Amino acid sequence: MPSRTGADSVPQHLSHVLLFWFGDDWGVYGRTYEQIATTLSRCHHVQQVLVVLPSSKGETLTTSLQIVSDRLAVARLYWRPGGISPLRLRSLGSLLKLQRERFALRRQIRSLGFRERNTLLWLFPPHPVLDELVRQVPAAARIIQIVDDFTLVDKTDWYYPFAVDQYPRLGSIADLIAVTSKANEQKFSSQAACVRIDQAVSSAFLAEPTDFQPAGAQPVLGYVGTFWDRTDVELLRRIALERPHCRLLLVGPELNRRLSDSGLLGLGNVEWLGSLPNDQVPMQLKRMNLCLIPHLDTPFSRSMSPLKLFQYIASGKPVVSSAVEGLELAGDLIRIEKDPARFLQAIDEELASDSPEKFRARVAFAAAQTWESRVERILAALPVQP
């Protein structure tokens, strides 16, 4: 079992943490909620962390419980709303199944020792059943965490109506709101106590000093992340066309057709691996000589803190990024360029000037950006409960 950590992180009376995430992707991308749940399960005073995800394949709480460790479990909840309105037409069978899940949730958390006096409820909105969860789960304290601002996505995305409905009311729910960007801090700090944290990195991404390899005649330029509205696919295409001696290695899922329709994937020096399990990403980072953050500067991207930044730096590789928010902490270690021509020039310069000393400095920086330190910061900001 991993060593216990964060002796003073969690107030001693909050020994049970119930965390609700809005997607069913545990073990896939290593997202923020997964790192926080795992970190909390290693804190001294925590007896149980239960992560509850929305069911994606019709699972129920009683059929889906996954024991990750003696203090960490994951379950899928059948709770499928058709929209934000409480007046929804459902079949009798669906209504009965939903009611059974409500009772099952109460039984499950009580069987694991959750009581109002010892429970910390950690919610990631926009969550389709946020209000229902607040009513159903008595808790001594509630933390709301905002990763991205989903009021800024396309209005056809399922996140959008829930975000528009829930975000203005978070102050009435939360004892603390945790955010990962300056824009979100400005947006939510007027509602409740608010703490801003950066993303962090798992130790699995940390390179060894012997991993340094100088770029050869065909450098590998890499991007890891989701391809969607924030990704500057045209910049990636320009890199591939104007640096034909470089290979472009792309890792991550596509949420719309912009990548597939761009013509980028048909170029001979481009390799797209699609979505990979998070534990396979460090191996792909080792193949890269330089890492890219080609994000568009939009209101949505300004609400983010790119997790890939810390994963890249942990691999020891040089990083070239477009000028977006969330890079300040590592600003001295990466190249940030607003102009596409300067972006390409920065790639050439960073490849030519890389060294074992720079490699080690990046890894050393990343080693200090732990999830333990981020969780400590969030919990230190939680108002003390009686």
Fold of the 16-197+371-380 domain: Rossmann fold (3.40.50)
- For position 384, what pLDDT does the model report? 67
Q: Which of 81, 128, 131, 79 is nearest to 103 (CA)?
A: 79
pLDDT confidence of 102, banded at 50, 70, 90? confident
Q: In the predicted model, what is the mean pLDDT of the chain?
A: 89
Rounded CA gap, 44 and 227, in Å? 38
Asked if residue 349 has pLDDT above 70, the reply is: yes
Confidence of residue 280 (pLDDT cuts 50, 70, 90): very high
- Cα 285 from Cα 92, distance rounded (Å): 50
pLDDT of the residue at 8: 53
Residue 160: is its pLDDT beyond 50? Answer: yes
Q: How far apart are CA 80 and CA 102, in angstroms?
A: 12
What is the pTM assigned to this prediction? 0.86
Domain 203-367 homologous superfamily, CATH: Glycogen Phosphorylase B; (3.40.50.2000)
Residue 334 φ/ψ, nearest 5 degrees: -130, 165
Q: Which of 221-225, 327-331, 370-374 has the lowest mean pLDDT?
A: 327-331
Looking at residue 83, its pLDDT comes to 44
Instruction: Provide mean pLDDT across the span 99-105.
Output: 86
Q: Which of 126, 121, 153, 156 minimizes the C-alpha distance to 139?
A: 121
What pLDDT sits at residue 86? 44
Residue 91 has pLDDT above 80, yes or no: no
Alpha-carbon distance of 317 to 299, in angstroms, equals 28
The answer to whether residues 310 and 199 touch, using CB atoms and an 8 Å cutoff, is yes
Distance between CA atoms of residues 31 and 36, nearest Å: 9
Q: Range(s) for CATH 3.40.50.2000 in the chain?
A: 16-197+371-380, 203-367
Compare 11 and 217 and report the one with higher pLDDT. 217
Over its C-alpha atoms, the chain yields an Rg (Å, rounded) of 22
In 140-273, DSSP assigns E strands to 141-146, 176-179, 194-196, 220-224, 247-251, 270-272
What is residue 159's predicted lDDT score, i.e. its pLDDT? 86
With contact defined as beta carbons under 8 Å apart, do 17 and 120 qualify?
yes
